Structure 1
Amino acid sequence: METIKFRGLRSSFILYVLTTLVIAAILSALTIWGCAALQKKLLPDSDLVYLTIQRSDSDGNETTTTVPMPLNDVLKEIPSMISMEDTEGDILSGEQNVKYSVTKIENSFTALSPKRQLVYQASQIGMIALPVFFSLVGILLCGLLFYRKKLKIPISLLTSATKQIADQNLDFQISYPSADEMGALCASFEQMRQILKENNQKLWDMLEERRRLQGSVAHDLRNPIAIIQGYAQYLQLSFSGDKISREKVSSVIANILHTSYRLQRYTDSLRTISRLEELEVQIQPEHFASLSSDMREDLSLLTEEKQLKLDWDNTVVEKELNLDSKILYRILENLIGNAVRFANRKIKVQFSYCQGLLTTTVSDDGPGFPQKVLNSKDSYAYMGSDDENHLGMGLAICRVLCRKHGGQLTLSNSDQGGAVIKFVLLS
């Protein structure tokens, strides 16, 4: 039975049908043989005859005796008196006159008694009806057994799984250890469930990330809006009392214009992030040594402007990696651009590769991240106090790009206090 469990549906069905046919054929043969034996027993033996002996004495008294006997025995005992047709013979024995007559026993249904005729007819019906009955019952039992052994459990599992998916519940598992088609179907369904769960989790993470980003942006927008409102109220009150000079008006307008530029940069960054959500990742084989050399040559220009040292450490030994080089370049450009603003003397970039993951670390010797930024998951934008124009949206862009490439980005500080940003890309 364990072997049947791991057979395919087609071979199992054929095996069930053949087994049913063999059993039905054996039962039908036994039934027909039994009914035929019963009929033979009911009918008289075709070799039997009635031997009638009639005796009469000299006084005229007659006695008649009829005995069923095999024809061969009759032929042996009175060969001179018997013929194959109804014959009669006379033998004189003393004073008795003996007559012998032989009559064939009719071997037919009409010769049976009514009770035997009923039994005989029942046996004839049984010879036809019972094989048909065995075939029908065999087909029914074959179908029920095949359904119970091969279809019932996987269909129940798939029905339950479909209902749970319809109820938006993906926290379950389908397990049907069988090598047949239903086992493959259950395995495919389980794979689909896992993919759905992963996609739902990614969608939830994306929505949660967008919610945190919107909260962070709303918080950052509050300051420039409050500044513009404050300056506007100040101008309104000052003009009404003629208490403001032309120079002061010019200074306030310059501050309002400066703050409006900050708002414009915020909106530009938000549009950039929105476009990144729709970006299609283009994975292709890249010769990483050449790619690393090209990126170092380009990104070193950012550090040279600030007279910073760029340490570039590539420990990847694989010749080719499957990744989107544009996404990797853009992430590094944003992170090094951020590090340039806070580093004192140098910035270090390290690459490593293990089990399909490219890990990149960008660190500097600056003041590092504030502890509240490291502790808060909602901190997408980071603005240093010494760089008022920096919007800090670069980290948000890098997070989105890492997620699009199947990776993640984490923030930390080194033991010396500098900022450390590590991101992992699926490659």
Structure 2
Amino acid sequence: MGKIREVFQKMSLKRSLVLLAVFCLSLVSALSVITILTCSSIQKKILDTRPIIITDYVIRDADSNDTENNNGVTAVPQKYAHGELSKENQLYYWCITILMVSLPIAYIIIASFMVAKLYYKWKLKIPLENLKNGMYHISQQDLDFQIQYTSDDELGQLCDTFEHMKNEIYKSNSKMWNMLQERKALTASVSHDLRTPITVLNGYLDYLEKSIERETLTNETLQTTIKNMTEAVDRLKRYVECVKDIQKMEDIEIKKDNYNLKELIADITREFSILAARENKKLVIRD
């Protein structure tokens, strides 16, 4: 039975349905023929129980071999008729007639039910349950499942397509999650890098404000401070333009350029001096 079911599952939906219907129809036909022949035989036996009424006969001389006829004559029936069945036999006869008609119809109904039941159980139940469970998992945003249904029929192909779709959704979600994580890291990096020039600008503004209060602000100091603030603003603009269209960390293009080390150290020292002054700390540079 298991091998038959396995072979049946590998067939296409149309072929398996036709095969199952032909098998059940053949079984119904055989049972119907057996039932009709059996009922007909029983009916004949019941009819044979009827009495025979002779209405006309002819007297003939008995044969010489007929030793049982003492009178030497024989009555040969010419016309006869069957009498009525007894009430009990009439009841039996009509019951057999009803069975002869109703049993084939019952066979067809039972066969139709069996075709539907077996077809659903062997061809539809497992793949439909797998697809239903798969859709439930997807609705719950759970992609950690697998549809295990191996068949060459249309539903097997549908299950394979569903599994492929689930895997593609899983890959897409994983890629989106990685992008979100990278965007989060990029945002944190941008926030950190933007904080430094903004803090430097605030430090220069505080320095100018305090210089004005102390009346120690000279024209040279003002020009130097404005120049440094302009450089910080330009650096801030360049950084914003650089990261404006960046989607992930890998998109950041690293460019190499020559730079004067003394000037770089002087710029860093100047900016960190402003930051240290805001925190009432002293910056010490050692060679």
The equivalent of 1:106 in structure 2 is: 82
* Secondary structure, counterpart of 1:85 in structure 2: strand
How far apart, CA to CA, are the structure 2 residues paired with 1:143 and 1:242?
101
Q: In structure 2, which of residues 91, 96, 99 is the aligned counterpart of residue 126 of structure 1?
A: 99
How far apart, CA to CA, are the structure 2 residues paired with 1:116 and 1:50?
18
Contact kept? 1:42, 1:116, Cα under 8 Å: yes
C-alpha deviation, 1:83, in angstroms: 3.4
Is 1:29 the equivalent of 2:36? no
By relative contact order (CA 8 Å, sep 6+), the higher-ranking structure is: 2
The equivalent of 1:186 in structure 2 is: 159
Contact kept? 2:49, 2:85, Cα under 8 Å: no
The equivalent of 2:183 in structure 1 is: 210
* Secondary structure, counterpart of 1:174 in structure 2: coil
* Structure 1 runs not aligned, ≥5 long: 52-73, 87-103, 278-329, 343-384, 390-427
* Secondary structure, counterpart of 1:84 in structure 2: strand
Pair 1:139–1:341, CA change in 2 (3 A): farther
Q: In structure 2, which of residues 42, 47, 58 is the aligned counterpart of residue 43 of structure 1?
A: 47
C-alpha deviation, 1:175, in angstroms: 1.5
Contact kept? 2:53, 2:82, Cα under 8 Å: no
How far apart, CA to CA, are the structure 2 residues paired with 1:174 and 1:269?
46
C-alpha deviation, 1:269, in angstroms: 1.6
1:2-25 Cα distance to aligned partner (Å, 9 max, x none): 211111111001111111101111
The equivalent of 1:137 in structure 2 is: 110
C-alpha deviation, 1:272, in angstroms: 2.2
Is 1:85 the equivalent of 2:58? no
C-alpha deviation, 1:49, in angstroms: 5.1
How far apart, CA to CA, are the structure 2 residues paired with 1:259 and 1:23?
94
The equivalent of 1:255 in structure 2 is: 228
How far apart, CA to CA, are the structure 1 residues paired with 2:205 and 2:120?
80
C-alpha deviation, 1:31, in angstroms: 1.0
1:331-382 Cα distance to aligned partner (Å, 9 max, x none): 8x945x34x669xxxxxxxxxxxxxxxxxxxxxxxxxxxxxxxxxxxxxxxx
Contact kept? 1:44, 1:105, Cα under 8 Å: no
How far apart, CA to CA, are the structure 2 residues paired with 1:341 and 1:25?
97
The equivalent of 2:17 in structure 1 is: 13
Is 1:174 the equivalent of 2:147? yes
Letter in 2 for 1:23: L
How far apart, CA to CA, are the structure 2 residues paired with 1:334 and 1:203?
22
C-alpha deviation, 1:166, in angstroms: 0.3
Pair 1:170–1:232, CA change in 2 (3 A): same
CA RMSD of aligned residues (A): 3.0
* Structure 2 runs not aligned, ≥5 long: 55-62, 269-287
C-alpha deviation, 1:105, in angstroms: 5.3
Task: Identify the structure with the greater helix proportion.
Answer: 2
The equivalent of 1:63 in structure 2 is: none
The equivalent of 2:216 in structure 1 is: 243
Letter in 2 for 1:16: L
When normalised by structure 2's length, the TM-score is 0.78
Letter in 2 for 1:81: T
Aligned pair count reads 247
Contact kept? 1:44, 1:106, Cα under 8 Å: no
How far apart, CA to CA, are the structure 1 residues paired with 2:258 and 2:186?
22
The 5-angstrom pairing of residues 318-337 of structure 1 reads 334=253, 337=255
C-alpha deviation, 1:112, in angstroms: 1.0
How far apart, CA to CA, are the structure 2 residues paired with 1:266 and 1:105?
122
C-alpha deviation, 1:157, in angstroms: 0.4
The percentage of aligned residue pairs carrying the same residue is: 31
How far apart, CA to CA, are the structure 2 residues paired with 1:266 and 1:159?
52
